[in-house]
A and B are shown apart, each in its own frame.
Chain A
Amino acid sequence: MQSSNDEAHWSRTRSLMFTHLAIWFFFGYIVHMFVKPLNQIIIPILNFPLGFYMAAQGSLIAFVVMLFVFARQQDRIDREHGVAEDD
C-alpha cells in the first residue's frame, strides 16, 4: 500500500513534471509568440535574427539540455526515496 515515503516521492515527481512542462511550454510556444519583435535583434557575429534563431536552434538546444537535466533530477528523487533501481 501507499506509504508516506511513496507519497512524498510521487509529489516531488509531480512537481518536477510541472516545472519541466512549464519550461517546455515557454520554449515551445511563448518565446515564438514574440518572433516579430525578437527578429529586430540581430545576434552579433553570427548575424541571426533572434526570433528566427530561437525557432531554428535556441529552443532545440533548450529541449536537449532539459532532458539530460530531467533524467538526473528524477534519478536523484528516486534515489533519495529509495525507489531507484540498483546500479
Chain B
Amino acid sequence: MATQSSANAEFYRNLGRMYGAYTGTFIGFVILLAILEQVGVPNRILGYLFVFFTLAVYALIGVMTRTAQVSEYYVAGRRVPALYNGMATGADWMSAASFVGMAGTLFLLGYDGLAWVLGWTGGYVLVSILVGPYLRKFGAYTVPDFMAFRFGGNFTRFLAVIVLVCCSFTYVTAQVFGTGIIASRFLGMDFTIAVYVGLAGILLCSMMGGMRAVTWTQIAQYIVLIIAYLTPIVILSTQKYGLPLPQFTYGQAIADITAREQQMIQSGLATAANLKPHIEPFLSYTPLNFFGIIFCMMCGTASLPHILMRYFTTPSVREARQSVAWSLFFIFLLYFSAPAYAAFSKLEVYTNIIGRDVSTLRPWLFTWGELGLIQICGKNAVNLDAAVAACKAIAGHPGVVRLQDFVINTDVIVLSTPEIAGLPYVISGLVAAGGLAAALSTADGLLLAIANALSHDIYYKMLDPNAPAFRRLLIARILLLVVAVGAAYTASHKPGDILAMVGWAFSLAMAGNFPALVMGIWWKRATTAGAICGIIAGFGLCLFYLVTTRYFPGVGVKYFGMTSLVHPVTGAPLVDIAKAMALPNAMESWPTLAHPLANKVGWFNLNNINCGLLGMPLGFLVIWAVSLITPEPSKEMQAYIDEIRKPRGDTILQEKA
C-alpha cells in the first residue's frame, strides 16, 4: 500500500513537471513562429507549422500511452487525479461550438446569447450533486452499463445505447465538420481532404490507448486551446484599456458599444429596427425560450454520456466530486472570457468596418468572403471590386458600409478577430490551432463513447459475454475506426443541419437519460418497467417534436394542433399558416424553413432546441406512475442502491481479471 501510494505521488509530481514543460515548449514554439513571421516566412507556412506541430504532439502522446488492458482502455485504469481529469473534461466538453461558435453567437445575439453560457456551465452542478459521483461508485465502464444493471436487463441497455448513439453521433459529425473548416481555411486544402486529415488526427489520439490516451491528449489540448483563446483578447484589452484582464475591462467595451450604437442610429448607419442593443434582453428569444435553453443545456450536460464517463476515471468518489469542480473551473476560464471576446470584436467591427468607405475595406475580409462567410451589400465579398460593385447596385447607397450591409457568419468571429484588430498572423495561426484542439478533443471523447457503447455493451455484454480481453479491445478499435469514418463521410457532405443538431443532442440526451439516471439513484422504488416506459416516452416525445417541427411542419399543424411561433419582440406570427398550408408541398418542409436553427411552428411557442422541456417531465412522470403500479425492486437491488450512495467500499461492478 505504502509503495503504491508513493509511486502514485511520484506519478503526480511527474505529471505536473511534464505538462509544465509541455506548456513552456508550446509558448516557446509560438514565439519562434512570431520571429519567423517577422523574418518574412509566408503565412501559409506558419499555418502548416502550427497545425502539424500540434497534431504531431497529440499523436505522440496517443502512441506513448497505448494500452492492451481492458480497464486502461475503458476508464484509464481509474487513476486520473481530480485536477487533471478536470482539465481533460474541459477539453472534452469545449467543442468547436464553444471555441469557435460561442463568441460569435454572443456577438450576434448580445444578452440572449448568454443563455448558452449559463446552460453550459450550470449543468455541472447537476452532474456533481445528482449523478456523477454515484456512477463512479457503481463502477461502470459506460452509461448503458449502469442503466442495464439498475433496470435489469439488456433491453434497457439497448435503449440506453440508442439514446447514446443518437445524441453523440450528430455531435461528433459537427466536430469533424469544424476541423474541416479550420484546416481548409488555414492550410488551403480542399474541404473534403481537410476532413479526412482531421480524422487522421483524431484517430491517432484514441485508437491505440482508448480512454487512457484520450485523457492525456485532452489535457495537452486543453492547454493549447485556453492559451489560444485568451491571447488575442488579452492583447486587445491591453491595447485598448492598458490592462491585460479582458474579463474585467470589457465592461468599458460594452459601455462603448452602447454609445456607438446610439451614434450609429443618429448618423443613419443603422436603423432602430435592424440594430439589437447588446445588453437588451429577450430580443432574440422569448423569456420562455431563453430559460428553456438554460434548463435544457443544464440537464443535457448531466446526461451526456461522453461527459459522464470522464468521471469514471478518477481514483475515488471523493475525487470524482472534486474533479467536477475543477472541470467547471477550467471551462469557466473560457466561458467567462467569451462575452469579452464578443464585446471586443463587436467594438472593432462597429468602429473599424461600419462607417468605413467601401473602397477602403481591408484585404483580410476577402479571404473569408471567398469562403462565403462574409457578405457585403448582400453579395459574398470575394474581393474589393465585387464589394464596391455590390454596394453600387443598391439604389441610394451612401458608399460607406452600413450595419445592414455587413453580414458575418458567427463562426468567423473568433477566427477572424486577430485580423479584424490587425494583430500579426501568428496570433491567427494560434487561434486556429486552438480551435482545432477544441474540435479534436471533443471528437475523441465522443467517438470513444460511441465505440465503447457498441463494443462493451452491444458486443461484449449482449452478443459474446465470453470474449477474451484481446478480442474485446480489437473489436473496440475496429468499431472506433468505423464510426470515425462514418462521421467523416457524413461531415464531408456538409449537411446543413449539423450545427442545429448539436443543440438538439442536449435535449435528446436530457429527455432520454436524465429521468432514468436521477430516479435510478435517488428513488429506490423506480422499477424496470417504469424506466423502460419513461425512456421511450420522454425520448420519443422529444424526437417527435424535433422531427415534426423541423421536417414536417404541415403534419404538425394539421394533425397535432401546432401553431406558428411568434416574433419575440413584435409578437407577430413567424409564418402565415393558412398560406403555407395552401402550398403544394405543405406536408413537408416549407420554403420558409431555410434557417436551420429555427422552427416556425410548434406548441407553446417553444423552439425545438428546447424539446427536452417536453420530453423530460413526461419521462419523470411516466417512470413515477409506472413504477408505482409495478412490484417494487428486489431487496437485493435496494441494497445495491444503498451501496452506491456510500463512497466507502468496492464498486458494484467488478471487472473479471
Contact = CB atoms under 8 A, between A and B. Distances in A.
A28 B128 contact: no
Interface string B343-373: 0000000000000000000000000000000
A60 B648 contact: no
Nearest to A83: B646
A53 B279 CA distance: 10
A1 B639 contact: yes
A48 B248 CA distance: 9
A75 B121 contact: no
Contact of A28 (B118, B129, B287): B118
A8 to B, nearest CB: 12
Nearest to A27: B122
Contact of B648 (A33, A68, A70, A85): A85
B281 interface: yes
A6 B255 CA distance: 55
Contacts of B298: 28
Which secondary structure dominates chain A's binding surface?
A: helix
Contacts of A21: 125, 129
Interface in A11-44: 13, 17, 20-21, 24, 27-29, 32-33, 35-36, 39, 43
Contacts of B287: 33
A63 B124 contact: yes
A81 to B, nearest CB: 8
Contacts of A64: 121, 325, 328-329, 332
Nearest to B646: A83
B642 A6 contact: yes
Given A21-B129, A36-B281, A67-B124, A75 B318 contact: yes
A85 B318 contact: yes
Contacts, number: 133
B412 interface: no
Given A29-B294, A43-B251, A46-B251, A56 B339 contact: yes
B133 to A, nearest CB: 8
Given A36-B281, A60-B336, A64-B328, A84 B647 contact: yes
Given A49-B279, A67-B324, A59 B254 contact: no
B321 A71 contact: yes
A78 B647 contact: yes
Dominant secondary structure of chain B at its interface with chain A? helix
Interface in B480-535: none
B255 A47 contact: yes
B55 interface: no
A20 B129 contact: yes
A63 B647 contact: no
A6 B639 CA distance: 12
B636 to A, nearest CB: 11
Nearest to A81: B646
B316 A85 contact: yes
A5 B328 CA distance: 32
A4 interface: no
A59 B122 contact: yes
Nearest to B298: A28
A55 B129 contact: no
Contacts of B255: 47
A78 to B, nearest CB: 5
A2 B642 contact: yes
Most chain B C-beta atoms within 10 Å of own C-beta, residue among A10, A39, A48: A48
A51 to B, nearest CB: 7
Interface string B399-439: 00000000000000000000000000000000000000000
B291 interface: yes
A57 B126 CA distance: 19
B645 interface: yes
Nearest to A23: B125
B158 interface: no
A82 B647 CA distance: 10
B322 interface: yes
B350 to A, nearest CB: 17
B130 A68 contact: no
B281 A24 contact: no
Nearest to A65: B325
Nearest to B278: A52
A48 B254 contact: yes
B247 interface: yes
A29 to B, nearest CB: 6
A52 B112 CA distance: 10
B50 interface: no
Nearest to A45: B251
Given A57-B336, A66-B125, A84-B648, A35 B281 contact: yes
B251 A63 contact: no
Given A55-B114, A57-B336, A84-B318, A46 B248 contact: yes
Interface string B302-343: 000000000000001110011011001100100110010000
Nearest to B128: A67
Interface in B117-139: 117-118, 121-122, 124-126, 128-130, 133
Interface string B230-269: 0000000000000000011001101100000000000000
A53 B37 CA distance: 38
A85 to B, nearest CB: 5
Contacts of B329: 64, 68
Given A35-B281, A51-B281, A56 B321 contact: no
A2 to B, nearest CB: 6
A63 B111 contact: no
Contacts of A17: 129-130
Given A24-B125, A46-B252, 10 more contacts: A6-B642, A10-B645, A28-B298, A55-B114, A55-B117, A60-B332, A61-B332, A78-B318, A78-B646, A78-B647
Sorted nearest first, the 3 A-B pairs with minimum C-beta distance are A67-B325, A47-B251, A48-B251
26 contacts: A20-B129, A24-B122, A24-B129, A28-B298, A32-B294, A39-B279, A47-B254, A52-B254, A55-B111, A57-B247, A60-B117, A60-B121, A60-B335, A60-B336, A63-B124, A64-B328, A67-B324, A67-B328, A68-B329, A70-B125, A70-B325, A74-B133, A74-B321, A78-B647, A78-B648, A84-B648
